[in-house]
Chain A
Amino acid sequence: MATLKELSTRKDPLCGGHRACSGCGFPQIVRMICMASKDPVVVVSATGCLEVVTTIFPYSAWTVPFVHNAFENAAATMSGIEAAYRALSKKGKVSKKINFITFGGDGGTYDIGLQSLSGAMERGHDMLYVCYNNQAYMNTGVQRSGATPIGANTTTEPVGKIKQGKMEKRKDLTEIMVAHNLPYVAQATVGYWSDLTRKAEKAFAVTGPKFINVLQPCRLGWIYKPEDTMVIARLAAETCFWPLYEVENGKYKGTFKPKDKKPVVDFLKSQDRFRHLFKPQNAAMLEDIQKEIDVNWEKLLSKEGK
């Protein structure tokens, strides 16, 4: 893996002055992913926070080629770019190796963009798709998505007199991507730079479709102090709320195994989106959440054992 010193000499894909919130996690994700590439990159982003805060005309924070098309079609858009790259390479019109990186939020990836992503992965386009997953539609004001965990308060599934926020479990998109038989799939958080960088490097080393699901705390939607982003990202892994692992050609490997798995309440209580769960009448919900996390963690460990 490249050293920090080496990484610091790589081209920063974003310049300062973009308009992400203080404490936002995705600028770091974008930087870590892009700077893990030894080769030049071309970036596509779905509509969402990332695209909005980096491209308000007449400014662009991107120092690398960047395309935004629409919300649900980032993967399809990159399919076209990658296909054109191959056609133009054959004709000798382009020559340099390029890593193609597609970013989408969880709304643009789990929900509205799932078909486009699935199609692009199945067709085998040489691209790395990165979901910066903050578990709700943050750009439009914290609406629930398929990635929103059970019990979270969102503006379209709010806590009320008879409901305790989202009542449904989140979808396991990483496993859906594994089921596409991709050469490389990984789950990461923004909280561990070396883990994320190493995963991106591994992805870039493989030709074909790759997917990394990166959990990214959002101070606005998760409701916490901006300086806590990294702490909360790590808590997600330390509690196994968001296990870190990778699947290389179908082979599972945990990349972070907490010696003493922290209770999930440590993660939940760090954010006000779960505040209501700590009312005495919701104790059973907390227990269920812990149980599910334990079951999923064991399931993951058993997959690794195979």
Chain B
Amino acid sequence: MAVVAKTGNEAMAEAMRQINPDVVAAYPITPATEIVMIFAQFVADGLVDTNYIPVESEHSAMSACVGAATTGARVMTGTSSQGLALMYEILPIASGLRLPIIMCDVNRAISAPINIHCDHSDTMAARDFGWIQIFSENAQEAYDNLLQAVRIAEDPRVLLPTMVTTDGFIISHGMERMEMLEDAQVKEYVGEKKPAYSILDLENPKTIGALDFTDYYFEHKMPLVQAMKDSKQVILEVGRDFGNKFGREYGFFEKYKMDDAELVMVALGSTCGTAKVAIDELREQGIKAGLLKIRVFRPFAAEEIAKELAGKKAVAVMDRSDSYNTQGGPVFTEVRSALYGTSNAPKMINYIYGLGGRDINVPQLKSVFTDLSKIDKMPEINYLGVRE
């Protein structure tokens, strides 16, 4: 193990080098370009065995990943924002064909207006395509999550493509202290991929991507439903095992000062680091504030999250994107839905914040807790940090 200073992009590229996938197909897009650039240098220097395909678009990146994955190869890519949006058509093909492709996804706003900075609109729009989605608070988590993603995605109980996200610029370009495993440790941890079949198996020719009409399509979607359910157990197992092996354990979410918390913030990604500082300061004033940091957004750990929030006085759900449904952001609608019909459900409001990389700071997050102390007077959906 080595203690190093890395940006989120460097951390992800290093994890990719250590995973040493068979194929990487990727296309440049800010702020994820660096991941591909750094990895391309590893290829150029012979540090990986990977066959790297510098495709002509993200659509082709995901298409090539799908093709490569049908051979049983271990396949990775990286993208962001418009690039992820260009992949949307192929994302459900990857999950529908049960191809455990791994993606580094740097969260960035979606055009228009064009904007290169962080929000979660790109990733949230991809939430219903059958991909596992894991959010990272910092470079360390990005690194750890990417390594675990291989084990989760390729588990025979799962076989789902998986994206690990960081927040654009905030994590992708922010340099932090982190611990890196030794190459040999990662090699052993991820192991050899053991595919159930390969399109290159000439003795047992397969037809992949066949046409289903009304008589089979539904049945073929049900295993995907089941795999997403089953992935919950695998995510927990892998997170615990990672903790046992390397000292950092992971689950569906992280609880920060939650045990006795009365006022709770639910958030994802880099904002959680800022929220922890706000909570520490509030605790000094005797305010019982806490944070539930959601790490795994797909599958959504509804029951487990509902259990953590039961009995709390007030909850603020932070969304770094809007779903434009007039009912709040995607995290809010998920959390509220998780609590529907449960006993002891807390009062809950939503904050949409940080769109297009608008800064979110400690005073703002503290003001959210102030709002929570008078939740009855608050509107259900609030926009934080926007000029009127």
Q: Are A and B subunits of one complex? A: yes
List chain A positions with a Cβ less than 8 A from chain B.
40, 42, 44, 51-52, 55-58, 60, 62-70, 72-73, 76-81, 83-88, 90-91, 94, 96, 98, 115-116, 118-120, 122-123
**Does B205 contact A76, Cβ atoms closer than 8 Å?**
no
With an 8 A cutoff between CB atoms, is B209 at the interface?
yes
With an 8 A cutoff between CB atoms, is B340 at the interface?
no
The residues of B that contact A66 with a CB separation of less than 8 Å are 205-209
Distance, CA A94 to CA B199, complexed state (A): 11
User: How many of B's residues come within 8 Å of A, CB to CB?
Assistant: 45
Distance, CA A116 to CA B53, complexed state (A): 13
**Does B207 contact A62, Cβ atoms closer than 8 Å?**
yes
The segment from B10-18, B59-67, B245-253, B331-339 found at the interface with A is: B59-67
The residues of A that contact B55 with a CB separation of less than 8 Å are 76, 79, 119, 123
**Does A119 contact B209, Cβ atoms closer than 8 Å?**
no
| Bitwise interface map of B from 197 to 227 toward A, beta carbon under 8 Å scored 1, else 0 | 0111110011111111100100010000000
**Does A79 contact B210, Cβ atoms closer than 8 Å?**
no
Q: CB within 8 A of A77: which of B51, B56, B67?
A: B67
With an 8 A cutoff between CB atoms, is B382 at the interface?
no
* Most chain A beta-carbon contacts within 10 A, residue among B57, B64, B89, B213: B64
**Does A85 contact B56, Cβ atoms closer than 8 Å?**
no
The residues of B that contact A76 with a CB separation of less than 8 Å are 55, 59-61, 63-64, 67
The residues of A that contact B212 with a CB separation of less than 8 Å are 57
The residues of B that contact A67 with a CB separation of less than 8 Å are 67, 70, 199, 208-209
Chain A minimum-CB-distance residue to B197: A65
A–B complex contacts, Cβ < 8 Å, 5 sampled: A68-B208, A80-B63, A80-B64, A94-B200, A123-B56
With an 8 A cutoff between CB atoms, is B268 at the interface?
no
**Does B213 contact A116, Cβ atoms closer than 8 Å?**
no
**Does A84 contact B51, Cβ atoms closer than 8 Å?**
yes
The smallest C-beta distance from B66 to any residue of chain A, in angstroms, reads: 5
The smallest C-beta distance from A213 to any residue of chain B, in angstroms, reads: 21
Chain A minimum-CB-distance residue to B57: A115
Chain A minimum-CB-distance residue to B52: A83
Distance, CA A80 to CA B53, complexed state (A): 8
The smallest C-beta distance from A76 to any residue of chain B, in angstroms, reads: 4
Contacts A77-B67, A80-B64, A119-B55 hold; do A56 and B200 have CB atoms under 8 A apart? no
The residues of B that contact A96 with a CB separation of less than 8 Å are 202
**Does B200 contact A116, Cβ atoms closer than 8 Å?**
no
Q: How many A-B residue pairs have CB under 8 A?
A: 159
List chain B positions with a Cβ less than 8 A from chain A.
22-23, 25, 49-51, 53-57, 59-61, 63-73, 75, 89-90, 93, 198-202, 205-213, 216, 220
Q: CB within 8 A of A69: which of B23, B75, B93?
A: B93
- Closest A-B pairs by Cβ, 8 of them: A80-B67, A119-B56, A68-B209, A80-B64, A80-B68, A73-B63, A76-B60, A60-B207
The smallest C-beta distance from A68 to any residue of chain B, in angstroms, reads: 3
The smallest C-beta distance from A272 to any residue of chain B, in angstroms, reads: 29
**Does A55 contact B207, Cβ atoms closer than 8 Å?**
yes
The smallest C-beta distance from B32 to any residue of chain A, in angstroms, reads: 19
Distance, CA A51 to CA B208, complexed state (A): 11
Distance, CA A63 to CA B205, complexed state (A): 7
Chain A minimum-CB-distance residue to B206: A65
**Does B200 contact A80, Cβ atoms closer than 8 Å?**
no
The residues of A that contact B198 with a CB separation of less than 8 Å are 94
The smallest C-beta distance from A128 to any residue of chain B, in angstroms, reads: 15
Chain B minimum-CB-distance residue to A91: B49
The residues of A that contact B73 with a CB separation of less than 8 Å are 84, 87-88
Contacts A56-B213, A57-B211, A85-B71 hold; do A80 and B25 have CB atoms under 8 A apart? yes
Distance, CA A65 to CA B70, complexed state (A): 10
The smallest C-beta distance from A302 to any residue of chain B, in angstroms, reads: 33
The residues of B that contact A98 with a CB separation of less than 8 Å are 200, 202
The smallest C-beta distance from B90 to any residue of chain A, in angstroms, reads: 6
The residues of A that contact B69 with a CB separation of less than 8 Å are 80, 84
Q: CB within 8 A of B216: which of A58, A60, A72, A88?
A: A58
Q: CB within 8 A of B200: which of A65, A77, A83, A123?
A: A65
